[in-house]
Amino acid sequence: MFDPDLRWRLHPQVAVRSESFGALLYHFGTRKLSFLKNRTIVAVVNSLPDHPDARSACRAAGIDDASQAPYLHALGVLAQSTMLVSGQGPAADYPAEDLGDDE
């Protein structure tokens, strides 16, 4: 269950690919694909390991507490699909792969 008061990070098997609309997340373990439909949620997801909890990551992306509900909901959906996992280590302990734009 997603708890916004915990530290979260991308699952180590998830890669992020930036797109004009936001980003694609691909989980190499489950083969699931998720779309992040705006750059604000991309910023939140990418900064999660740098913050003590999801709410702090939202605040750092410029989302005030009163506006966080849709972002926390999106993070909860990502956690349910195991794109995000809770974790206490620093970002360097959990590198995510980058799909890049090598086409």
For 60-101, what is each residue's pLDDT tens digit?
999 999 999 999 999 999 999 999 999 854 443 444 444 454
Quick one: CATH architecture of 8-98?
Alpha-Beta Complex (3.90)
The answer to whether the predicted template modeling score (pTM) of the entire model surpasses 0.85 is no
Domain parsing of the chain, residue ranges: 8-98
Residue 99, classified by CB atoms within 10 Å of its CB into exposed (0-12), middle (13-18) or buried (19+), is middle
Q: How far apart are CA 103 and CA 101, in angstroms?
A: 6
- Taking alpha carbons only, the member of 12, 6, 4, 9 closest to residue 90 is 9
